[in-house]
Amino acid sequence: MDQKIEYTRAKDSKGEGVRGFLSKLSKGLMLPIAVLPIAGLFLGIGSGIINIMDTVGLDKNTNPWYLIPIILRDIGNIIFATLPALFAVAIAIAYTDDAGIAAFTGFLGYVVFAVTQSILIFDNVDSNGILTSYQILWYDEVPTSVVGQTLGIKSLQTSVFGGITVGFVAAWLYNRFSTLRLPNFLGFFNGTRSVPIIAFMFMPLVAFIFLATWPLIGTWLDSFGQLLLGMNYGFDALLFGIIERALVPFGLHHAFYTPLWFTSVGGQIIAIDPGSGEQLVVAAGDESMWFAIQNYGLDYNSLTTEFWVTPNDTIENIININGYWVFDPSGNGGASTDINEYLLPAQNLDFSSGADQCVYCITAGAHPGQYLQGKYQFMIFGLPAAGFAMIMCAKKENREMATSLIGAAVLTTFLTGITEPIEFTFLFLAPMLYIFHVFMAGISFWVDDLLKVSVGMTFSGGIIDYILYGILPLATGYNTAAWIVIPIGIIYMPIYYFFFRWYILKFDVQTPGRGDSEEEMKLVSKKDYLEAKESKKEQKNVVPAAKKGQFDESNPRFLRTVSLLGYLGDFDNLPSINACITRLRISVSDPTKVDEENIKKKLGAKGIVKFSGGRSMQIIFGAEADIFKTELMMLKKQGFTYKEWEKTHKN
């Protein structure tokens, strides 16, 4: 019996294929990324208030009101500083069906992983005691940019790659040893208790593998990042915008942008202590750099100047002018007389030399925000205009319903930047419209980069993010050039509107409200849901009383979720259930048991994306996806089956 169970599990895992694996990866990546909006909110507001207080001349050492924004800033900043560890926990969760022990193992494993590295990293200093490089195993001259700090531990600058790897190892250990049975005298450590212990012994080996390989990989990543950032005329931003939006239908865009947002591939900011020459990587990746600028009170224009050193430059040309340390690229004292172009004051950096000031350097070609800000034009302006075009193309008798249906998707896009509800409305009906949309997304990133806009973002690009990370920093003294987004967006509106209107009418695209049957309008209608609620009320007297903590007939969403379970073929057809922000990500044993038509018409799914012969599916529900996932998992833990419920329900 046990052998049969193990065979079935292996078969299901294999059946998910590469797409199923990437689907879980996307879920894992989104868990820590979903925390970034609130972290960015705290960091942005805290830094903005501090900047205002500095402007009016308040003394932070004597004024107690400074404590409030400092607390806000530091609480937000700690999330970005510990991202590798958070990714380790999230990946462990994603590949173990939300197992808490796996999450604990992921965090424990990352601590052991980092500490093991710190022991085997040795400083190389010159005759003046200045740190020049590191010695790691057989690597004698490892650049200082390859080493950084996470959780206060000096370790390889692996950023989220290290965290993701540790998470995979933790998930593998959990899936392999969570049912381990030991001799009776060690029975206390049976099962899941053994997993963290095994990880404690296993992670030093993982750390050693990284020590043996990462100096080469890290150097290659820096080179690749500099190659990408070295593309002239903002073509790197153009390429990013096109690829990122093109991957959205496949759910793979998270895996694409994560390295550019959180690793050295997207650039680095390095702080140099002029007194000792010590270098510290304070941010790696486009999003991390943008928030570091706010955290340290840096100047956008100075960071984007071509005169800043790159990670491979020496510090010999750092000179003192009028008491300020600046970088002199010519080496002969010919730095600009405008000190503000080069000087960036140090804040809260504790160098070993105790110097009061330091120089911040950025990877050549990096422009903080270049892989973030391009979303605002098409999310706040372009897609709402496209939605309006679809409404105007609907038949007059259906226009009110189309307005209600599409308007909700437009409002979601405008406020939060969650675009899939409206994108999937036209993606499957007219792929050429989506190709146009992808091209316009690339143009948006490109134009922003050319005009030196520097607006931050967390995971969305709606009006809320624009106010927090564009308008608010601009109002508090940061030169984000956020105002440029508005005229570009205004230009985008008629382009989207008239192209969509022309294409829909020209090729008779059956967008909501254009069909002859009202059935088409049920795509996202709540009519069936309300009817289901009425049916529930009629049978209330024959339904057993609810038990505390259970998901049952007393919950107004019960029939909706149970209907979805039935359309998916019950739990014995669902070896894996996951979700990201807008998609229910499932694996199915038999794709023919899935009732795709009713999932779309009666439950309002915007579309279904299938991989691996249909055994891996992503059902686009919008913000409801994670709710469905949680409720299905509750039913599964309760031992609920659709077949048994249907028999009782019919009787």
pLDDT tens digit sequence for 523-580: 333 344 344 445 444 444 433 434 445 777 778 888 888 889 889 988 888 888 877 7
Q: Of all helices (H) and strands (E), which one includes residue 502?
A: helix 485-506
Q: How far apart are CA 550 and CA 635, in angstroms?
A: 8
Q: How far apart are CA 149 and CA 646, in angstroms?
A: 56
Mean pLDDT of 289-304: 67
What pLDDT score does 581 carry?
Answer: 66
- Tell me which residue of 615, 622, 153, 283 sits closest to 423, measured CA to CA: 622
* Residue 469 neighbours by CB under 8 Å, 6+ apart: 40, 44, 290, 455, 456, 457, 458, 480
Mean pLDDT lowest for which of 16-25, 368-377, 469-478?
Answer: 16-25
Mean pLDDT of 416-442: 83
In the chain, CATH 3.30.1360.60 sits at 526-650
Q: Which residue has the higher pLDDT, 311 or 371?
A: 371
DSSP 382: I
- Tell me which residue of 431, 576, 415 sits closest to 20, measured CA to CA: 576
* Residue 243 neighbours by CB under 8 Å, 6+ apart: 256
Highest mean pLDDT among 82-96, 321-335, 343-357: 82-96
- Tell me which residue of 243, 293, 286, 237 sits closest to 263, measured CA to CA: 286
Q: Is the pLDDT of residue 648 over 80?
A: no
For 397, the token pair is: 């008798």
Mean pLDDT of 496-510: 90
Mean pLDDT of 576-591: 82
What pLDDT score does 444 carry?
Answer: 94
Q: Is the pLDDT of residue 480 over 70?
A: yes
- For the chain, what percent of residues have pLDDT higher than 70? 71
What pLDDT score does 206 carry?
Answer: 92
Backbone Cα Rg of the chain:
27
What pLDDT score does 191 carry?
Answer: 76
Q: Of all helices (H) and strands (E), which one includes residue 326?
A: strand 324-327
In one-letter notation, the amino acid at residue 60 is: K
What pLDDT score does 638 carry?
Answer: 82
Mean pLDDT lowest for which of 180-194, 435-449, 491-505?
Answer: 180-194
Mean pLDDT lowest for which of 182-191, 255-264, 531-540?
Answer: 531-540
Mean pLDDT of the chain: 74
Mean pLDDT of 289-299: 75
- Tell me which residue of 425, 427, 596, 608 sits closest to 521, measured CA to CA: 425
Q: Is the pLDDT of residue 340 over 70?
A: no
Q: Which fold has domain 526-650?
A: Gyrase A; domain 2 (3.30.1360)
In one-letter notation, the amino acid at residue 250 is: F
Mean pLDDT lowest for which of 132-141, 313-322, 500-509, 586-595?
Answer: 313-322
Scanning 34-99, the segments in alpha helix (DSSP H) are 36-55, 67-81, 83-94
Confidence of residue 522 (pLDDT cuts 50, 70, 90): very low
Q: What tens digit of pLDDT does each residue of 301-317 get?
A: 554 433 333 333 344 44
Q: What tens digit of pLDDT does each residue of 598-647 get?
A: 888 888 887 888 877 778 888 888 767 878 888 888 888 888 888 888 87
Distance between alpha carbon 174 and the CA centroid of its chain, in Å?
A: 25
Q: What tens digit of pLDDT does each residue of 460-474 get?
A: 788 878 888 888 888
DSSP 309: P
